């Protein structure tokens, strides 16, 4: 039998409504089976829908399951920040002052307050280094660029199978007109730097044609993988702000800070819808 469950919809990586990446959160997710969760995520037709559940790990404050219209993800960034915001706003009380511990399929993810923002600790890369030559060729075809335009093409897999292509500039990133047929089911991030002195360091785009919307507005997991790679390679400072979503009419801002042995991926969360749903 269906029942009323608390539900919120938030906009993540933005302080201005309708400029970030929307997220649907079912706060009372206990008792829902996998098929119902998947069907509801398909129905919302957002890039991700999450379900909050009691934790199974003794250190965790809550557990989350993350679904796209095309299936479940082991981890994702904007659902982490949005789910944490929803959990706190609905009365969640962290076990440790100043820190929330989220349990998800990849394990425990630490979340802290960074001023008015929330920030999660970037999970370690599960796969890194240059991609195989055949994949590099597929990336070039997918982005409709010459191989010489690809400064790097590397794995930044942190749960989702992200690979990242670095172009010469933010302008080049914004000019991409992807070939989704060639891209297939790749999870492909693209990054390019802004000129020195700009308040933004990078422009980022994320292409995921196999998971629902072909381009994701603002992507925490990709930015987390990018940050570990770029900072580790000396291509990014310890603190920077990345922009994402301009190609879709959004203005997402991802705040990256390397502190205390962790790389923190932060962003504002703007609540839009509060209510109940029957599921």
Q: Span 127-261: which CATH code? A: 3.10.310.10
Among candidates 3, 65, 45, 8, which has minimal Cα distance to 214? 45
pLDDT of residue 219: 98
Residues 6+ apart with CB under 8 A from 188: 139, 142, 143, 162, 163, 164, 165, 206, 207, 208
User: What is d(CA 6, CA 29) in angstroms, rounded to the nearest whole number?
Assistant: 9
As given in the structure block, the two tokens for residue 236 are 């990014």
Q: Sorting pLDDT into bands at 50, 70 and 90, what band is 102?
A: very high
- The CATH 3.10.310.10 domain(s) of the chain lie at 4-122+266-278, 127-261
What does the pLDDT look like over 181-194, one tens digit per residue? 999 999 999 999 99
List, for residues 238-279, the tens digit of each pLDDT value.
999 999 999 999 999 999 999 999 999 999 999 999 999 999
Residue 165: predicted pLDDT:
99
CATH superfamily, domain 4-122+266-278, is Diaminopimelate Epimerase; Chain A, domain 1 (3.10.310.10)
- The mean pLDDT of 33-39, rounded to a whole number, is 98
Whether the per-residue pLDDT at 65 is higher than 80: the answer is: yes
Contacts (Cβ under 8 Å, ≥6 apart) of 275 = 6, 7, 8
With bands split at pLDDT 50, 70 and 90, how would you rate the model's confidence at 116?
A: confident
Query: Per-residue pLDDT averaged across 107-121, rounded?
Result: 93
Active site residue 48: yes
Catalytic annotation, pick one of 3, 16, 42, 48: 48
| Alpha-carbon gap, residue 143 to 21, rounded angstroms | 23
Q: What is the average pLDDT across 42-70?
A: 97
| pLDDT of res. 213 | 87
């Amino acid at each position: 039998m269906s029942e009323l469950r608390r539900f919120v919809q938030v906009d993540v990586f933005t302080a201005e409504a309708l400029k970030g990446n929307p997220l649907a959160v079912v706060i009372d997710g206990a008792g829902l089976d996998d098929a119902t969760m998947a069907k509801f995520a398909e129905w919302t037709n957002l890039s991700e829908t999450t379900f909050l559940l009691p934790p199974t790990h003794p250190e965790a404050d809550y557990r989350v399951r993350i679904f796209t219209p095309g299936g479940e993800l082991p981890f994702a960034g904007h659902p982490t920040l949005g789910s944490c915001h929803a959990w706190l706003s609905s009365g969640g009380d962290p076990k440790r002052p100043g820190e929330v511990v989220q349990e998800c399929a990849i394990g425990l993810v630490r979340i802290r307050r960074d001023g008015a923002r929330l920030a999660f600790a970037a999970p370690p890369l599960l796969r890194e280094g240059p991609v195989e030559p055949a994949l590099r060729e597929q990336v070039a075809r997918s982005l409709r660029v010459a191989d010489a335009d690809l400064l790097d093409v590397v794995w930044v897999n942190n749960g989702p199978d992200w690979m990242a292509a670095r172009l010469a500039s933010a302008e080049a990133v914004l000019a991409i007109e992807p070939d989704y047929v060639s891209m297939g089911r790749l999870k492909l991030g693209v990054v390019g730097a802004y000129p020195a002195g700009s308040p933004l360091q990078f422009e980022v785009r994320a292409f995921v044609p196999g998971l629902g919307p072909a381009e994701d507005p603002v992507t925490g997991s990709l930015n987390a993988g990018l940050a570990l790679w770029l900072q580790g390679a000396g291509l990014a400072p310890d603190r920077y702000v990345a922009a994402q979503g301009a190609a879709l009419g959004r203005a997402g801002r991802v705040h990256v800070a390397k502190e205390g042995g962790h790389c923190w991926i932060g962003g504002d969360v703007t609540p839009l819808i509060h209510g109940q749903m029957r599921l």
